[in-house]
Amino acid sequence: MTLHSDSILQVHGLSKSFSGVNALDDVQLNLHRGEVHALMGENGAGKSTFMKILIGLLTPDAGEILFEGNELKNNDVNDVLKQGISMIHQEILIVPELTVAQNIFLGRESTQWFSSWLNDRDINQQAETLLQQIGLEVSPKTKMKYLSVAEMQMVEIAKAISNNAKVIIMDEPTSAISDKEVATLFAIIKDLKAKGVSVIYISHKMDEIYQIADTITVLRDGKYIGTKSAAELDRKSLITMMVGREINTLFPEKSSSKGEVVLSVKNLNERGKFDNISFDVHAGEVVGIAGLMGAGRTEIARAIFGLDTFSSGEIVLKGHKINIKSPCDAIKNGIGYVSEDRKGVGFIPALSVKHNITLASLSNHTKWGMIQDKSESAVATQMINDLKIKASGMDQKVTHLSGGNQQKVVIGKVLLASPEIVILDEPTRGIDIGAKFEIYKLINELTTKGIAMVVISSELPEILGMSDRIVVLSKGKQTALLSKEEATQETIMKYAMQH
């Protein structure tokens, strides 16, 4: 690890409040040249607000930002960009119908003939050089929409480099890319570092932080908690800094016993998605599904739940073959599904916590089509308490909740439909460590009640920590069905990469 003495960005006493609530309170940061600086904290700790201020999207209430010794003040996004601070957003901002080169030089097009005629040849050449520099093998003339998420991210990095960025902020850059692509990304980050570019790296994934970060700054509830060198800070202390208390074991002890087979998936096929998938799930058991991005995990879950179709195979529920054509059929048969895509398939932002939570079981609270408000409110209140959902009240809109609480609302909705099987697809994606722990506890509570669980996850420690048995997929094929004793990170990875 190399620590450079000269700092490029210094932040002191930064504060920002929204309608009386402190989002940031006296926050500081000292970023050195050529350093990868991880910014950590639970959801709602103030990381996004902090970054939005840095790139000029928000104006701080107090505090100063020194960039290369000069104060950055009253800057808008364009000024900040020109000075050399770029941000790669979690949700990538691109124009799909334009080419790679056109996206990189969007707003800075090269022109000729009285700056009115576009010079695409020039930007294609420049883009070519940039893409070579970061080792991305796509033509600058390819339309952006044909790229994978990881490639799009690389293009964004190329764009930042072409902007002469001295500081690049990366917000959860690995949330949607595969392990192999993560390796490429890290190689690029190391390369940037060697060239003296500083990176502010935001992520919830501990493994990554320790792989890539030199320094770690932790925020909690909008306050600055501390900055430590990554080498000196062990995981346990980092978690303690983030949550403000100690979490000894992330995965709680299980006490459930295995019952009858509830769900059998037999030779499930869908052309181009998955091939010959078979597994059983017993009452009180957790079956994990592991595999790399694109291995077909989510596709299988969606097919079982009736969101997508499958071409052949059987789904057997307690010995009876069932025919599921829509999620409505699945719910009636006692299957619940919590999607990986919380925003897209999970909750309805414009509806309140109460209305979201009762949505899948609303017919239990109606008389002649009229909703019985009392009984609806009663079960909603009960579920909000059971799952410890933090909301200002059950009439608060779900949009205003944190990621972890939104996830709990979706889980609550599924549970109110009294399922016997619950499929959780990436249940802890993008939520903070405290909420993760609560979801793990909840999974154990549900298995104790005899519910059969299927947990899909990209995080191997999570799969290993929670599952009784693990189905491993590779490119749509089932390559292993491991027992808890057989399963290690290495064996899972071996089967996940098997062809």
Partner 1 sequence: MNNYFTQLGNSTKQRARGMGQYGIFIAFVMICLILSLITPKFLTVSNWTIIVTQVSINALLAFGVTFVIITGGIDLSLGSMVAVTGIVASLLAHPDDYPVIVPVLAGLLAGVFMGAFNGTIITKSKVPPFIVTLGTMTIGRGLALILSKGRPVSNLSDSFNFIGGGSIFGVPFPIIVLIVAFVVCSVVLKKTILGRYIYAIGGNEQAAKASGIRVNKVKMAVYTICGGLAALAGILLTSRITTGQPNAGAGFELDAIAAAIIGGTSTSGGTGTMTGTLIGALLIGVISNGLDLLNVTSYYQQVVMGAIIIGAVVLDGWNQSAAQR
66 binds partner 1 (CB under 8 A): no
351 binds partner 1 (CB under 8 A): yes
Q: From CA 380, how far away is CA 358, in angstroms rounded? A: 7
Q: From CA 128, how far away is CA 122, in angstroms rounded? A: 10
330 binds partner 1 (CB under 8 A): yes
* Cβ within 8 Å of residue 176, ≥6 positions away: 149, 150, 293
Smallest distance, partner 1 to C-beta of residue 15, A: 17
Smallest distance, partner 1 to C-beta of residue 371, A: 6
Residue 128 structure tokens: 């070519």
From the list 4-12, 113-121, 367-375, 432-440, the region that binds partner 1 by CB under 8 A is 367-375
Contact (Cβ atoms closer than 8 angstroms) between residue 387 and residue 442: yes
Task: List strands edge to edge, sheet with 70-71.
Answer: 70-71, 62-67, 7-18, 21-32, 223-229, 215-220, 36-40, 198-202, 167-171, 85-88
Q: Sort 416 into a burial class: Cβ within 10 Å, 0-12 / 13-18 / 19+.
A: buried
360 binds partner 1 (CB under 8 A): yes
Q: Which is nearer to partner 1, 282 or 365 (CB)?
A: 365
Which of 107, 272, 319, 344 binds partner 1 (CB under 8 A)? It is 344
326 binds partner 1 (CB under 8 A): yes
Which of 91, 245, 370, 485 binds partner 1 (CB under 8 A)? It is 370
Smallest distance, partner 1 to C-beta of residue 308, A: 11
Which of 132, 164, 229, 363 binds partner 1 (CB under 8 A)? It is 363
Which pairing describes strands 7-18 and 62-67: parallel, antiparallel, or unpaired? antiparallel
Smallest distance, partner 1 to C-beta of residue 283, A: 22
Which of 106, 118, 293, 371 binds partner 1 (CB under 8 A)? It is 371
Q: Which is nearer to partner 1, 451 or 480 (CB)?
A: 451
- Site track for partner 1 across 276-305, x = CB under 8 A: -----------------------------x
Which of 366, 418, 489, 498 binds partner 1 (CB under 8 A)? It is 366
Which of 77, 187, 231, 362 binds partner 1 (CB under 8 A)? It is 362
Q: How many residues bind partner 1 (CB under 8 A)?
A: 35
Compute φ and ψ for 473, nearest 5 degrees: -115, 150
Q: Sort 107 into a burial class: Cβ within 10 Å, 0-12 / 13-18 / 19+.
A: exposed
Q: Which is nearer to partner 1, 265 or 410 (CB)?
A: 410
Nearest of 486, 421, 424, 413 to residue 459 by alpha carbon = 424
Q: From CA 488, how far away is CA 344, in angstroms rounded? A: 33
Contact (Cβ atoms closer than 8 angstroms) between residue 380 and residue 353: yes
Find tokens 């695409």 and name the residue: 120
339 binds partner 1 (CB under 8 A): yes
Q: Which is nearer to partner 1, 28 or 363 (CB)?
A: 363
Smallest distance, partner 1 to C-beta of residue 456, A: 15
461 binds partner 1 (CB under 8 A): no
Cα torsion through 298, 300, 305, 309, rounded to 10 = 110
Q: Which is nearer to partner 1, 284 or 419 (CB)?
A: 419
From the list 94-102, 112-120, 247-255, 348-356, the region that binds partner 1 by CB under 8 A is 348-356
Smallest distance, partner 1 to C-beta of residue 238, A: 30
* Cβ within 8 Å of residue 29, ≥6 positions away: 9, 10, 11, 37, 39, 50, 217, 227
| Residue 366 to residues 246, 351, 358, 371, Cα–Cα distance (Å) | 45, 18, 11, 4
* Contacts (CB under 8 A) with partner 1, residues 2-21: 18-19
- Residue 73: CB atoms within 10 A of its CB come to 10
Q: From CA 212, how far away is CA 38, in angstroms rounded? A: 9
Which pairing describes strands 286-290 and 469-474: parallel, antiparallel, or unpaired? parallel
* Cβ within 8 Å of residue 244, ≥6 positions away: 220
- Site track for partner 1 across 378-407, x = CB under 8 A: --------------xx-xx-----------
Smallest distance, partner 1 to C-beta of residue 77, A: 18
From the list 104-112, 118-126, 174-182, 329-337, the region that binds partner 1 by CB under 8 A is 329-337
Phi-psi region of 36 (alpha: psi -120 to 50; beta: other; left: phi over 0): beta
Smallest distance, partner 1 to C-beta of residue 462, A: 23
Which of 92, 134, 293, 307 binds partner 1 (CB under 8 A)? It is 307
The footprint of partner 1 (CB under 8 A) covers 18-19, 305, 307, 326-328, 330-332, 337, 339, 344-351, 355, 359-360, 362-363, 366, 369-371, 392-393, 395-396, 413, 417
